[in-house]
Amino acid sequence: MIDLTKLEVFLYAAEHLSFSEAARRIQVSQPTVSHHIKTLERELGVELFERTGRGLRLTEGGRLLMPWARKVVRDSIELQEMMATLQDGVAGSLRIACSTTAGKYVLPQLAARFSRRHPGVRVTVLRCAPAQVVSNMLGDEANLGVVSREVQDETMEQQEFFEDSISLIVPMGHPFALRRQIQPEEIIGEPIIMREPSSGARRVVLSELAKHDISLGDLNVFMEVGNAEAIVRTVAAGYGISFVSTLATACPLERGNVVNVNVKGLNLQRKIYMLRKRLEEPHRPLEAFWSFVHDPSNKDLLQLSKRK
């Protein structure tokens, strides 16, 4: 049977490609690290590292071992945490993959409230691209996922998390800023900053504009930016207009740098969803958080994006 300690030592050495750095991280001597690696190589019957003039390099065997070793070590930790919950209540680790701008405004506060109620749970929020959420969960990198559209995957169970509003924002001095409402066609010709193609906000905006026979090609898109906060700052500096989650505009709006403008006939609402694996093994922090999301005490957080 392979010793977990040897796998942990291997992972540190593999991630840093240095026995000395691995020794420093786990607070043992370098000869101890070398001994563990040599013993592991002997037990597996393969070399894990190639010693070169520039240092260490993983062999094919080492590269194959890394994801397997991570899973074994992680499962061991979660098993210990699960056993601890039988005596101490809800405890352990919870990893949540979040792919949407709106989610990252609500999720950390919700996680903080959850941790206050269950101090034995350590929550990690992982920022990732939309396409990575399901793969992260299937690969056991995350226990839960937050996405801006329904996922068509039979292995996943989903629940509505909250509803996000998307706003057209303009600089304070823009002519639209003095209007209570504009027509959709009025944005044609205006310099527009758009989110990246994979953005959920962009998908909703283009879908709504299409109902008014306005396509992406009709718009004067002079820049694409994959960060809502960067877009808000650029609009506030007077470089164009944009559609972003209302949550991303809250602070700049308070400072009077940008103005939300209502576009007649556009329903710029979208649902944010939370995912979990349908056939997940028992995991008390996950189950507790899944239920905690819609606890009445969190109603204020889930309505942060509602229009004022």
Angle, vertex CA 228, rays to CA 109 and CA 250, nearest 5: 55
Q: Is residue 308 part of a domain?
A: no
Q: Is residue 307 part of a domain?
A: no
Burial (CB count <10 Å: 0-12, 13-18, 19+), residue 116:
exposed
**Percent of the chain having pLDDT more than 70?**
94
Same domain membership, residue 61 and residue 14: yes
Same domain membership, residue 293 and residue 204: no
Same domain membership, residue 197 and residue 264: yes
Q: Find the domain containing 14 and state its range.
A: 4-83
Same domain membership, residue 152 and residue 59: no
Tens-place pLDDT, residues 148-164 = 888 888 888 999 999 99
Looking at residue 82, what is its pLDDT? 60
Tens-place pLDDT, residues 257-269 = 899 999 999 999 9
pLDDT at residue 86 tops 60: no
Same domain membership, residue 275 and residue 239: no
pLDDT top residue among 87 and 260: 260
Looking at residue 154, what is its pLDDT? 84
pLDDT at residue 68 tops 80: yes
Same domain membership, residue 220 and residue 234: yes
Same domain membership, residue 151 and residue 285: yes
Confidence of residue 275 (pLDDT cuts 50, 70, 90): very high
Q: Is residue 252 part of a domain?
A: yes
Q: Give the CATH number, domain containing residue 110.
A: 3.40.190.10
Looking at residue 1, what is its pLDDT? 66
Looking at residue 85, what is its pLDDT? 57
Under a CB-based contact definition with an 8 Å cutoff, are residues 246 and 165 in contact? Answer: yes
Looking at residue 251, what is its pLDDT? 75
Looking at residue 83, what is its pLDDT? 65
Q: Which of 14-18, 81-85, 224-228, 291-295 shows the lowest mean pLDDT across its residues? A: 81-85
Total residue length of the chain: 308
Neighbouring-strand partners of residue 263? 182
Boundary-marking domain end, from 48, 63, 83: 83
Tens-place pLDDT, residues 8-64 = 888 988 888 888 888 888 888 888 989 988 998 888 899 999 888 777 889 999 899
Q: Give the CATH number, domain containing residue 68.
A: 1.10.10.10
Q: Is residue 99 part of a domain?
A: yes
Q: Is the dihedral of CA 96, 111, 290, 158 positive or negative?
A: negative
Same domain membership, residue 285 and residue 154: yes
The structure's pTM equals 0.68
Tens-place pLDDT, residues 159-194 = 999 999 999 999 999 999 999 899 999 999 999 999
pLDDT averaged over every residue in the chain: 87
Boundary-marking domain end, from 57, 83, 109: 83
DSSP for residue 118: -
Looking at residue 308, what is its pLDDT? 46
Q: How many domains does the chain contain in total?
A: 3
pLDDT at residue 279 tops 80: no
What gap in Å lies between CA 175 and CA 171, rounded to an integer? 9
Looking at residue 109, what is its pLDDT? 92
pLDDT at residue 207 tops 80: yes
